[in-house]
């Protein structure tokens, strides 16, 4: 599959496919094994969030450049109910879905750049970037 690519997230098996695709691209970008695992885990968390809280969404996977540095950018978007209180959602241990409450806050720590845009009723857009070292 070429990049940029947009993958649907509508079932648990899609989450697995997203993970596999992100891993392939992460290897292409030249991320270290640790960074590959981190970005794959973040992708897994965010894709599952889109599935669990918004009933599905999509993710755009692309390679970005900053000077000579290459990076991997993932953009998760959904048309779900949105996040009413982003600050609170980013607190460790806060969950409305019965999970550990670390998916969103943990993902922020797993990547280099993290941006959430969301409003109630307007869906959620999360952009994360991981740069190769």
Using CB under 8 A as the binding rule, whether residue 19 contacts another protein is answered as yes
DSSP state letters, 20-34: HHHHHHHHHHT--HH
Contact status, residue 39 vs residue 130, Cβ threshold 8 Å? yes
Q: DSSP secondary-structure letter at 105? A: H
Beta-bridged to residue 117, according to DSSP, are 125
How many residues bind to another protein according to rule CB under 8 A? Answer: 24
Q: Quote the least distance from Cβ 20 to another protein, whole Å.
A: 9
Q: Extract the tokens encoding 32.
A: 């270290």
What residues numbered 85-114 form the site for another protein, per CB under 8 A? 92, 99-100, 102-103, 105-107, 109-110
Using CB under 8 A as the binding rule, whether residue 41 contacts another protein is answered as yes
Using CB under 8 A as the binding rule, whether residue 130 contacts another protein is answered as no
Contact status, residue 110 vs residue 41, Cβ threshold 8 Å? yes
Rounded Cα gap, residues 110 and 89, in angstroms: 16
Stretch that binds another protein, among 1-9, 15-23, 72-80, 118-126 (CB under 8 A): 15-23
Binding site for another protein (CB under 8 A): 12, 16, 19, 23, 33-34, 36-38, 40-41, 44-45, 48, 92, 99-100, 102-103, 105-107, 109-110
């Amino acid at each position: 599959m070429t990049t940029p690519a947009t993958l649907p997230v509508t079932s648990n098996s899609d989450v697995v496919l997203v993970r596999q695709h992100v891993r392939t691209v992460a290897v292409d970008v030249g991320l270290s094994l640790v960074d590959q695992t981190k970005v794959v885990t973040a992708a897994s968390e965010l894709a599952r969030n889109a599935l669990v809280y918004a009933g599905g969404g999509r993710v755009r996977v692309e390679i970005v450049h900053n000077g000579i540095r290459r990076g991997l950018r993932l953009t998760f978007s959904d048309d779900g109910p949105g996040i009413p209180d982003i600050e609170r959602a980013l607190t460790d241990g806060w969950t409305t879905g019965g999970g550990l409450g670390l998916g969103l806050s943990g993902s922020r720590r797993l990547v280099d750049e993290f941006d959430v845009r969301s409003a109630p009723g307007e869906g959620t857009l999360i952009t994360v970037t991981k740069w190769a070292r």
